[in-house]
Amino acid sequence: MIGNMFRSLWHYRHFVLSSIRNELTSRFARSKLGFLWMLINPLAQVAIYALILSNVLAAKLPGIDNKYAYAIYLMAGLLAWTLFNDIISRCLNLFIEQGNLMKKMNFPRTTLPTIVVGSCTLNNLLLFIAMLGIFALLGHQFSAAMIWLMPLTLITVMLGLSVGLILGVMNVFVRDIGQVVPIILQMLFWFTPIVYPANIIPESYRYLLNLNPIYHITNAYQQVLVYNETPQLWGVALILMIAVALMLLSLFMFRRASGEMVDVL
């Protein structure tokens, strides 16, 4: 099944690449700032949080000798969260939005989530480049630990895509899913130490963070980008196993439901 999927994607690679390019250009076709809006929105969010909370939470970040420590910490966590959140949010209504295309054209349905992944990953790469420039301006040092961002990005994409596919398929049949998921994602954002450091959580409750898979991802990004350290390997391995298991489940659901989705749509 997986081999056939990759062969289909390779055969339709030009369709996938052109769709990603067209999607990005159409989003900002009449915009003066164009692709800069992909960077302005998350960076504006960082600026707002940093302006409001930096004086309160900067002292809670031990081990960083930089007066802009909180902004650096915040950007590292948001880089991981933005990729995960964007993929799920896009996949959630993907098949509903592309319903007419799925009915009229005969093409591998797997190209649709692949286009989403390509677009979201490119956005995240541009955001990462912009953040590196800001880190440099703030005087933050880099290290060889940043090489870990490649496997971490892959794991984040796998987890986001698998969850997004499962929810996207379910949303075709039960439209309430599309209303509930944004609320859950907002709650998950605040239950993940992104805007605040994990050490402000009471120790008696801190173990609950291990039940949050996104915590292990954002924490790994923060260890690499903020502290220039190798992430906790057990946490990365755990999320990788979860991502692989969910990916297999999502592909099974997607394959079984693809025909019924066209009928429902």
Dihedral angle of Cα 72, 240, 121, 187, to the nearest 10 degrees: -60
Q: Which pLDDT value is given to residue 248? A: 92
Residue 30: what pLDDT? 65
Looking at residue 257, its pLDDT comes to 82
Q: What pLDDT, on the 0 to 100 scale, is given for residue 183?
A: 95
Question: Within the chain, where are the H helices?
Answer: 2-11, 13-27, 36-57, 69-92, 94-97, 99-104, 111-137, 149-173, 176-190, 203-206, 213-225, 233-264
| Token representation of residue 216 | 């292990």
Q: DSSP label at 265?
A: -
Would you write out the chain's pLDDT as a tens digit for each of its 265 residues? 566 776 777 777 777 888 888 877 776 666 666 666 667 777 777 777 777 776 667 666 776 777 778 888 888 999 999 999 999 999 999 988 887 777 777 767 788 899 999 999 988 998 898 888 888 888 888 888 899 999 999 999 999 999 999 999 999 999 899 999 999 999 999 999 998 888 888 888 888 888 899 999 999 999 999 888 999 999 899 999 999 999 999 988 888 887 788 777 6
pLDDT of amino acid 55: 67
User: Running DSSP on this structure, what letter comes out for residue 144?
Assistant: G
- 3-class secondary-structure state, position 211: helix
* Distance of alpha carbon 31 from alpha carbon 50, whole angstroms: 28
Model pLDDT, residue 3? 66
Given this model, what pLDDT does residue 59 score? 61
pTM, entire model: 0.89
Residue boundaries of the structural domains of the chain: 2-264
